[in-house]
Chain A
Amino acid sequence: MNLRFWRAWGVGRRMAVITMLPVALLFTSFVWYSWYAHRAQVAEELAERGRILARALAETSEYNVISGNLSDLRLTINGLVQSDRSIYRVDVVDASGRASVRVVSESATDAQPHYYEAQIRKQVVWINLFSDNGTPHVSASSDSRPPTLTTEVVGWVRVTMSPSNMMAKQTDRFQIELSMAALALAASGILAWVLARSLIVPLREAIGSLRQIRGGNFQVTPPVSTGGEIGELQSSIGEMSLALGESKRDLENKVAERTRDLLASRNEALRADADKRKLIQKVNEIIEDERKSIAVEIHDELNASLIAARLEAQAIGLLAAKAPPGAEVTEIRRKSEAITKLALDLYANGRRLVRRLRPEVLDMLGLHGAVEEVVRHYDSTSGCRFDLHSEGDFARLSNELAISAYRIVQEALSNVMKHAAARSAHVSLLLDEGKGVLRIRVVDDGAGFDTASASEGIGIIGMRERAYALHGTIDVRSSPGEGTDVAIALPLNVPAQPSLITPAAPAAAS
């Protein structure tokens, strides 16, 4: 049994129990004791009266029993028995055990199972009766009072008592006591109810007020209906609700203020971000333009000049071939051949430089072809195996996007080459037209690095900047010994400039 069962009780129940439990205990013990006491009183009183009656009757009936004058005795006892309803029967028994007188009450209904008996003793007055017993016969008073001695028992008086009459009286008294006690119990119950109610009602009001406050209604001011702790609680709840209302207002004001600030900051940041993107785009554009112009210069001027120089050197060789042989001619022919070769090497270098500065392959082969070319180039020039997987039609990609994608792949492969020491690397290009996203993924099985601790290299920062400028995302996953996985998603359509939020609409911000 759980001894703390009362913990789940409400205040009213506890109050009722605290008030009623002692009263109920008192009531129970009082009623029990009262009943017991009344019963005991009846028994004691009957016993006492029975003994006294028997004794008194024994004293008075001595003469009648000795003299045999029983009619007188019967009259006397009858008068007594009929006048006292608590006597059931009186028997006078003589010395031989024969019942001399029996008087039964006419009114008493029940009898005790036992009777009270007293001996009828013959009393002898011990005075000098001038017999021949030795002492002088003096008729004057003797010094001492003559003793009265009892000699023999001449009979018995047996009194049987009837408890009903006395019991009825005691029951009446008990009923009065019981009703008084019950009245007191009822009064205590009412008092307990009133007390419990005086606690419950304000507490319920207080709980209701608190619920309202919890629900956000700070305009609750429960009436202070009582004194003491409950009254304090009520007034405290009122004060608390006021204080909470005020603090909420303060808080709201502060939040609004902060929100304004935050929105301003956000707009600032957005503006700065847009500016940054523009700037990066612009820088990339400028870089690309500059590269293009440099490439054009190299292609148109330098390479043309180199071709011209080769042609001149070839012409020198031809001339030398026509000239008479001689050491000088041979030397000239050898030098022209050297120049021709040098011019060819320079031309090849120029072509390579142009290709790097201006991936015309992009213009010619599109993104797929360009990436394929790069992959093939790296695959052929290093110990690492590169392969490419592509899906989608890349022809509709904007030039800007294609160049950024190309550059990103270029940078990623460059990183693989420089840092990964991988055995194989896999490049995938996916054009998800449904979502409008170009996905680039470069995965290698190289050394990897700890993305949490290692600072990003310039290459990754460049990739990030390019993706950022195009509102794309870059995700680099790597851990030491596990290789590196770089995933880039670039939106096909650059989203519109994000709207600036005005502080006048704070709800939208939250």
Chain B
Amino acid sequence: MNRILRGIDPGAGAPALASLLALTTLLIVMSAGAAQAASQTAAQAPGQAATQGVVQAPNQPAATAATAATAPTAPAPTSPHDRGDTQGFRFQIITGDESAVTHRIAEDLYKRLVPTFAAFRTELAQKRRMLYIAIGPTALRDALSRRCDCVVISAYTSSQVWRTLTSRQSQAQTRQRRPAITAIYAEPAPSDQMRLAALLYGRPVRVGVLLGPDTAFLRPVLHDAAEVQMYSPGEDLNHTLNSMTRAEMLLALPDSDIYNAENVRNILLSTYRRKQGVLGFSSDMVKVGALATTYSEIEDINAQVAEIAAHFVGTGELAEPQFPRYFRTIINEGVASSLDLRVTDAARNFARRAPATP
């Protein structure tokens, strides 16, 4: 990560960057033209790109031009979007911490995005529209704080946190220009989880869901498929769980009011005592006692990000926020046998694989 930082000019870092604690920005600048222009003028672009395009690798020293070009401090009136003369796109991966996982995500993502944006490298940086990819909630918050004519793809942020942050953003920036934004939620798609539940039991199964205030928006989605039990903070969680008698399984969804470090063990124990399996939302949850879950590897999410980016660059249409498309399944065999479930290979191999990277 230090190598990435070395590529950034501190003077060009912008107040927003400097204000974020321990924020490291992996800055990738691609000279790019407007999406539509790219497709229309593809024939003439290569000539210019060959001479003017800059692909700034994070570990390369020519950072000045790249960072200057990517500085999001451009005043709104001079935005190329307003002038309507933007040509192509460039992208920037925003990270929120320095962990190894983040580093791995960023490096993998960079490799996947470079080919998409390589076509615009001959365009002037100022004329290229910025596409931010935010890794994690902190990075998303950072991305949302930028006032620019830009596009943000949020990844590795749960639907609850995404919704909280974006609703706050929308309230704060109603009168300002907002970046176009979409997301790939971090948690598995409820529909995939439902199918996994059916596979585990070998039949349609009654699934219960606990929803708090922050996840109440999912109620319409789940209403038909699951027994929804509302929970408001301050209530006795055990009591709420006890009242969910008909459900054979509990579908856990990220909600810090319900599934926090204090409660999660209690919830797992309570459901286990009532012979209710828990469909968690991460592999770690399965490891600590949930029955099973579908989950997405970093490569799966990154592939989806790359697909959305490519689609947007290609069509100018930004996809709607969506659940992970590619996933695999993890099952806690010990819990399964305790619950008298015979796990089939169909359940074990339940997955949707991302297409192999070229």
Residues of A within 8 A of B (CB): 63, 66-69, 122-143, 145-146, 148, 151
A135 touches B285 (CB 8 A): no
B281 touches A139 (CB 8 A): yes
B260 touches A131 (CB 8 A): yes
Chain B residues with Cβ below 8 Å from A145 are: 287
Chain A residues with Cβ below 8 Å from B293 are: 139
A129 touches B101 (CB 8 A): no
Cβ-closest chain B residue relative to A146: B284
A130 touches B160 (CB 8 A): yes
A138 touches B186 (CB 8 A): yes
Chain A residues with Cβ below 8 Å from B102 are: 135-136
Considering only residues 237-295 of chain B, those with a C-beta below 8 Å from chain A are 238, 254, 256, 259-262, 264-266, 268-270, 273, 281-285, 287-289, 293, 295
A141 touches B330 (CB 8 A): yes
A139 touches B238 (CB 8 A): no
Q: Which of A67, A69, A134, A137 contacts B158 (CB 8 A)?
A: A137
Chain B residues with Cβ below 8 Å from A136 are: 96-97, 99, 101-102, 105, 135-137, 139, 155-157, 186
A140 touches B296 (CB 8 A): yes
B188 touches A139 (CB 8 A): yes
B330, chain A: closest CB distance, angstroms: 7
Cβ-closest chain A residue relative to B295: A139
A127 to B284, CA, bound (A): 6
Can you name 6 A-B pairs with beta carbons within 8 Å?
Answer: A67-B270, A125-B268, A134-B136, A135-B97, A141-B295, A145-B287
Residues of B within 8 A of A (CB): 96-97, 99-102, 105, 135-139, 155-158, 160-161, 164-165, 186-188, 238, 254, 256, 259-262, 264-266, 268-270, 273, 281-285, 287-289, 293, 295-298, 324, 330
Given A63-B269, A126-B261, CB of A133 within 8 Å of CB of B284: no
Given A126-B261, A141-B287, CB of A134 within 8 Å of CB of B96: yes
A140 touches B160 (CB 8 A): no
Given A137-B156, A139-B188, CB of A130 within 8 Å of CB of B99: no
A125 touches B264 (CB 8 A): yes
Chain A residues with Cβ below 8 Å from B100 are: 143
A78, chain B: closest CB distance, angstroms: 19
A148, chain B: closest CB distance, angstroms: 8
A146 touches B137 (CB 8 A): no
A276 to B99, CA, bound (A): 156
A487 to B279, CA, bound (A): 155
B165 touches A132 (CB 8 A): yes
A345 to B146, CA, bound (A): 205
A63 to B272, CA, bound (A): 12
Q: Which of A129, A132, A140, A141 contacts B137 (CB 8 A)?
A: A132
For the complex with contacts A136-B99, A137-B157, A137-B187, 20 further pairs of A-B residues with Cβ separation under 8 Å are A67-B266, A124-B261, A125-B288, A126-B261, A127-B282, A129-B256, A130-B282, A132-B165, A135-B99, A135-B102, A136-B97, A136-B135, A137-B156, A137-B161, A138-B282, A139-B296, A140-B295, A145-B287, A146-B284, A148-B288
A135 to B103, CA, bound (A): 12
B256 touches A131 (CB 8 A): yes
B186 touches A139 (CB 8 A): yes
A63 to B265, CA, bound (A): 9
A66 touches B282 (CB 8 A): no
B208, chain A: closest CB distance, angstroms: 18
A44 to B288, CA, bound (A): 36
Given A124-B262, A129-B254, A130-B187, CB of A138 within 8 Å of CB of B137: no
